């Protein structure tokens, strides 16, 4: 099962969670500490301390929103339901507008 190191307050994590939902992919949330300097466990597991980070099936680590979204687009077929999920998100004003990653 996919594991997503993320935080609920993070707009980049939200974008990845939204895409996972659109794709109908099961995943496990790995909440992280608020401060990157405090993320020793995540750093040890993934080599990264900035979220989001996806640990894919087989253990491949994909870090960064765009990289994760591209990975998902390459490895998961989009079901017809994805368009309806996007429409609902837009209708409710929750489709993420991402600030630049740092």
Q: pLDDT at position 96, please?
A: 60
Apex 18 CA angle, 17 and 20, nearest 5: 65
Instruction: Supply 20's token pair.
Output: 């996972």
Domains of the chain: 2-91 (3.40.30.10)
> What is the pTM for the complete model shown?
0.87
- For the chain, how long is the longest CA-to-CA vector? 41
| Tens of pLDDT, residue by residue, the chain (102 residues) | 999 999 999 999 999 999 999 999 999 999 999 999 999 999 999 999 999 999 998 999 999 999 999 999 999 999 998 888 888 888 887 766 655 554
Q: pLDDT at position 102, please?
A: 40
3-state secondary structure (DSSP) of residue 89: helix
User: Cα separation of 45 and 18, whole Å?
Assistant: 24
């Amino acid at each position: 099962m996919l594991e997503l190191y993320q935080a609920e307050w993070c707009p980049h994590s939200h974008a990845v969670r939204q895409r996972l939902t659109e794709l109908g992919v099961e995943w496990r949330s790995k909440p992280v500490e608020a401060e990157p300097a405090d993320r020793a466990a995540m750093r040890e597991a993934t080599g990264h301390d900035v979220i989001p980070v996806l640990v894919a099936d087989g253990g491949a680590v994909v870090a960064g929103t765009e990289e994760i979204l591209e990975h998902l687009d390459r490895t998961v077929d989009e079901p017809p339901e994805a368009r309806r999920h996007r429409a609902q998100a837009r209708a409710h004003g929750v489709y993420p507008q991402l600030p630049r990653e740092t």
